Amino acid sequence: MNVQIRMTTGGAMSDLLLTRQRQDVIRDRLAADGRVVAAALAREFRVSEDTVRRDLREMAAAGLCERVYGGALPVAPSTGTLVQRQGQDGDAKRALARAAAGFLTGGMTIFIDAGSTNAAVAAALPSGGRFTVVTNAPAIAMAIIPRAGVETVLVGGRYDPVIGACLGARAVSDAEGFRADLMILGACGIDARAGITAFSQDEAEFKRRVAAAAGAVMVVATRDKLGTAAPFAVLPVAGLTRLVTDAGGDETLLGALAHAGTDIVRVPLPR
């Protein structure tokens, strides 16, 4: 069937636009703008908001976007197991880790969540700092072992090899026995509206419990996490104390995070 797309003089797309064509446009907008708004798309496509929401539901089910209130975001990057992620963007992660370590002071109890960037933070801890580090990630515990003056507590439970962390009821119970001065939270996606999100329900629940008990929460993340979302909510941006990320990120998003009270630390990366 030969379908023509009729355009008005104002440039709005007609209601003859087929579902696949609408969704192709939505994918392009997500790639270009980092977010789509259902009401604006409905006006542009000359269809109902229910039609656009149905498009977004279908795209989310296919893993092409992550639905949020009022629209959709790109899916947070998922780049394999922890071991695989540790081999990616190593210089950038080490630069962010050194900047994040500068905010740690001796005597603190720190919960370091699972994640390849957080493993770099653990490796950047200064020796002799008299830190107590609690973690549910064996790789992070191993990165800390050479640091003199750092006491390490490893939370037990069911080990997830993809996330690289212990999760489940046992891990939550163990972690709730600590009240960290600071939680260094691993984030799959970061957005002003969606907040901090994760791919796994168990992972999100664990992160949420530990963050709720911590005195402050810091996320150390490369810019590819910004303006994206994963399926499970962890923390609203109002609960994020500090974000350490590389310079050149989404200015609108970083401004919105700063407006919500998050301290934004932008780190120039090595070339």
| DSSP conformational letter for 194 | T
Which one is predicted more confidently, 182 or 31? 182
- Tokens at 7, concatenated: 């355009």
* Matching residue, tokens 């695989």: 84
Q: Is residue 1 part of a domain?
A: no
Q: In total, how many domains does the chain have?
A: 2
Tens of pLDDT, residues 14-58: 444 588 888 888 888 887 777 888 898 888 888 888 989 899 888
- Tokens at 165, concatenated: 């962390």
Q: Is residue 259 part of a domain?
A: yes
- Residue 251's pLDDT is what? 85
**Among 36-40, 142-146, 236-240, whose mean pLDDT is lowest?**
142-146
Among 233, 151, 158, 244, CA closest to 199:
233
Q: Is residue 11 part of a domain?
A: no
- Residue 150's pLDDT is what? 87
State the residue range of the domain holding 170.
Answer: 82-267
The residue among 40, 73, 106 that closes a domain is 73
**Among 74-83, 199-208, 246-255, whose mean pLDDT is lowest?**
74-83
The residue among 49, 73, 97 that closes a domain is 73
- Residue 249's pLDDT is what? 67
- Asked whether residue 153 falls in the same domain as residue 108, the answer is yes
Query: Which phi-psi region, left, alpha or beta, contains residue 131 (left: φ > 0; alpha: ψ -120 to 50)?
Result: beta
- Asked whether residue 176 falls in the same domain as residue 242, the answer is yes
Q: CB of 185 within 8 A of CB of 175?
A: no
**Among 127-131, 170-174, 206-210, whose mean pLDDT is lowest?**
127-131
DSSP structure string for 84-122: HHHTSSHHHHHHHHHHHHTT--TT-EEEE-SSHHHHHHH
Which CATH number characterizes residue 39's domain? 1.10.10.10
Look at residue 13 and give its three-state secondary structure: strand
- Asked whether residue 55 falls in the same domain as residue 96, the answer is no
The residue among 53, 73, 93 that closes a domain is 73
Which CATH number characterizes residue 231's domain? 3.40.50.1360
Helix axis angle, 19-33 to 49-61, nearest 10°: 80
Tens of pLDDT, residues 161-180: 888 899 999 999 988 888 99
Q: Is residue 243 part of a domain?
A: yes
- Asked whether residue 26 falls in the same domain as residue 153, the answer is no
- Residue 64's pLDDT is what? 83
Helices (H), 47-200: 49-61, 82-86, 90-101, 116-124, 138-144, 169-175
- Residue 264's pLDDT is what? 96
CA 260 to CA 11: how far, in whole Å? 36
- Asked whether residue 147 falls in the same domain as residue 220, the answer is yes
> Is the pLDDT at 79 greater than 90, yes or no?
no
